[in-house]
Amino acid sequence: MNSRVVNDGERRARLASRHLLAPGRRAATPEAVVDALVALHSTDAATVYLSALARLEKPDTADVERALYDDRTLVRMHGMRQTLFVVPADLAPVVQASTTREMWGKERGLLLKNAVAAGLDAAWLERVEAETVAEVKRRGSATGAELGKAVAGLRDQVLYGKGTKWEAWQPASGRVLRVLGFDGAVVRGRPVGSWLSSQHRWEPGAGHAEIAVADAQAELARRWLRAFGPATEADLKWWTGWKVTDARKALKAVNAVQVAVGTGVGWVLPDDLDEVAAPEPWAALLPGLDPTAMGWQAREWYLAEEIRPPLFDRAGNVGPTVWWNGEVVGGWAQRADGTVATRLLRDVGSEAEKAIAVETERCQTALGEHRVTPRFRTPLEREISEG
């Protein structure tokens, strides 16, 4: 192991700078935000916007929409851990090859199995896929419902869990579009409704990426270590959803260097061994599923165990969090009247309280008339929102 020790304080300093959370480190564009963080969680549509707004010099939801749907410099797709993310357009092929390609094979195989159980066959699936892609290209943009009316095969039913107590018939449309999305044949477009809507339109995609899996995994690991290092092998395996052997190969491919961290052995890129100084004191209000809060499997260096329970739901999804100098110190929520309210779970002192109040007002201004309820609600978020 390299003799370099990266203590918890320095890890928080790196987080502040590389995750664009200290005021002097904020970004000018949503593209810069996503590039710095590698990917933004997108299972909850609001997370993408709120994560970006927290890190922008001039928070503006319209600028995020521009990047996603006008310029298409950001792409929404399934990736790590079979989760929806927003990634830079140039990174999408890397994510597809390193993680989504394998998911596509498994998902398509399961769909075909369910189709055969319903009396359909492989020729049916190939035909429906081709007709759906052709219809999306013809229209340029369409909802799932619109495609279902135009493509007869999407209205067929497939049989899930045949012979088990979970046996159930399901419409083919959602499953087919999911598989085509994994393959990159179609991509998620504008939401149906406001930016808070989880429903969306489908648009033509560029197809799957012709990149060797090992090369793609190495590139994804390199970008991730740049943003999240030092991190452990377990952190990388958890974040990517890869097998441990794949994580080890990727670390070797990028010549990652071992350093000592509080949880044992961490890894950094070979040109990232210089000490990082702490920035000016900073506070932040981050949304549920924010990539900083969800970036590592081992979180004790920025999240004390005693305050963890009210901040997570039963599935392990983090809710909205309040940060002070690289540590989670509480949570926040928006009440029915639109007020952004916080609750601190630790005694942080008057300087921190003032800084958190400034960030609360900044969040309030950025949200404007919008009302945001996290998709995955946590005990503390519920308490604050109802208070």
Task: Say whether the peptide bond before residue 230 is cis (omega within 30 degrees of 0).
Answer: yes
pLDDT in tens, 54-106: 999 999 999 999 999 999 999 999 999 999 999 999 999 999 999 999 999 99
Inform me whether the pLDDT recorded for 2 exceeds 80: no
Amino acid at 299: R
Per-position DSSP letters for 356-371, written without gaps between them: HHHHHHHHHHHHTT--
Inform me whether the pLDDT recorded for 198 exceeds 90: no
DSSP state at residue 5: B
* Per-residue pLDDT, 240: 97
Q: Between these two residues, 55 and 262, which has the higher pLDDT value? A: 55
How do the domains of the chain map onto residue ranges? 92-204
Strands (E), the chain: 40-41, 74-78, 84-88, 142-143, 157-160, 168-171, 186-191, 200-204, 257-261, 264-268, 283-286, 321-324, 327-334, 340-344
Separation of alpha carbons 231 and 224, rounded Å = 9
* Per-residue pLDDT, 264: 87
pLDDT in tens, 127-151: 999 999 999 999 999 999 999 999 9
Mean pLDDT of the chain: 95
Task: Note whether 90 and 34 are within 8 A (CB).
Answer: no
Per-position DSSP letters for 149-173, written without gaps between them: HH-GGGG-EEEESTTSTT-EEEEHH
To the nearest 10°, the Cα dihedral for 323, 324, 328, 332? Answer: -40
Inform me whether the pLDDT recorded for 1 exceeds 80: no
Task: Note whether 137 and 122 are within 8 A (CB).
Answer: no
* Per-residue pLDDT, 321: 98
Task: Note whether 259 and 275 are within 8 A (CB).
Answer: no
- pLDDT level of residue 313 (50, 70, 90 thresholds): very high
DSSP state at residue 312: B
* Per-residue pLDDT, 3: 82
* Per-residue pLDDT, 208: 79
Task: Note whether 14 and 276 are within 8 A (CB).
Answer: yes
